[in-house]
Chain A
């Protein structure tokens, strides 16, 4: 238990000690709000699909959550290079606990970034349908964060240096984000794209967050949460297995 706590605390300390990184991470969401929100908003409305900012805000929030979560998981690569990983690998605590602490810590900071983006969206005019559902939306976002932190950590155990990072970003994370229905409603896309979205691990968590923030949804909430929890467990297990076998 204390190992989980201490690894969680470490992620938080490292995160809040680099305010420049936190502020920097807001750059991309702002760009998305401006380019998509203002750029496509009118077209979206004219097509009869409603207020695009309202649709887009949960998508951008989810984007910052998954990017931050995957980064945090891949922190493992830095720890390997700078040596701290060894200190945790020889410690007399279960490796699963070390892993869980790291993932929960990474997910917590990713959620924090997501909430920052949500606050930014509110400043830009976004209004949640029901303020009382905000904690539930944050809970759903945390599930998404756990799923992608576990995913990032699994990648971190597989690649040895940051050189593989653009590969992962461009061929895995970006497609997962763009094809998840974060930016467009899945009800009005071609069947092929919809099929891809249904296989996308982000689609369900994304849908849950949007449902709780705006009431707009594609699937039912129980399915969204169920699939996201199941996927999280799968990636936690895979990540625990890979981390348990890790050598230096």
Chain B
């Protein structure tokens, strides 16, 4: 099999902070690959570099054989993405958001129409297709975001915490759609999630990243065996520790700092 994503010695620094630290990973065409890690471990930063919107500090990347820095256009033609944070235009309707996406991705009109209807029905937003996105709830926006990401059928699909905030029905629904797409069109799926059972059930292989480094890579079974734990969740905790991470400072974060300062939390 040929690898459709190939990453070697990839590093990204922001000033003194090393967000991604010399990682290497290779994903085969048609694979469903989970990229797991605590908050702030470097998952989204890696995805941004793979998807041409952030330049690496050093290292090499190939997506579908192309270098995102040298050939961003060829890379962009090869993938689709559902971002972790919102990327909808709230001043447009659900249908317009889909329509504009379809046009940007060069889908012919009939395909566009058909997929918009299919996917909006799929995420249960068809009745609200002509409402402005700003009127939607958080969950509805998330569903629309996913529907839009699935509109064109790329070779690689990046999903950055796609199921965050979705109910189990929608989650299952979405994964079966993706598994189907993966089988039918051999689409490679590269996703991140905090739901371990999701990764265990869906992904062929799993990489775990922590503090910018890949700490484990293999099938769910291999990771459990490696850590001598009964579930992926426990394997994950064994590999990344129990300390809670926050990407941004919050009240809870400060309390945790106090707790650590008083010697109760686990120091690293």
Contacts and interface: CB of A to CB of B under 8 A. Distances in A.
Nearest to B77: A92
A13 B90 CA distance: 12
Interface string B102-126: 0111100000000000000000000
A93 interface: yes
Contacts of B103: 2-3, 5-6
Interface stretch (A78-86, A164-172, A214-222): A78-86
B86 A92 contact: no
B100 A92 contact: no
Nearest to B53: A248
Taking residues whose C-beta sits less than 8 angstroms from the other chain, chain A's interface range is: 20 to 34
A247 B54 contact: yes
B52 interface: yes
Contacts of A83: 83, 85-88
Contact of A88 (B54, B92, B96, B104): B104
Nearest to B91: A14
B53 A82 contact: no
Contacts of B89: 10, 14, 79, 82, 84, 87
A238 interface: no
Interface string A74-101: 0000010011111111111110000000
Of the listed residues A83, A85, A88, the one surrounded by the most CB atoms of chain B closer than 10 A to its CB is A83
A138 to B, nearest CB: 26
Interface residues of B, number: 28
Given A13-B92, A84-B89, A94 B100 contact: no
B86 A3 contact: no
A88 B76 CA distance: 11
Nearest to B148: A87
A79 B87 CA distance: 9
B92 A10 contact: yes
B87 A93 contact: no
Contacts of B87: 83-87
B88 A247 contact: no
A247 B73 contact: no
Contact of A91 (B54, B92, B105, B132): B105
Contacts of B106: 2, 92-93
A52 B117 CA distance: 58
B158 to A, nearest CB: 9
A82 B88 CA distance: 8
A248 to B, nearest CB: 4
Contacts of A84: 87-89
Contact of A87 (B90, B101, B132): B101
B81 interface: yes
Nearest to A79: B89
Contact of A3 (B52, B88, B104): B104
Interface in B65-86: 73, 76-77, 79, 81, 83, 85-86
Given A6-B104, A17-B91, A91-B105, 11 more contacts: A6-B100, A13-B91, A18-B91, A82-B89, A83-B85, A84-B87, A84-B89, A87-B101, A92-B77, A92-B106, A247-B54
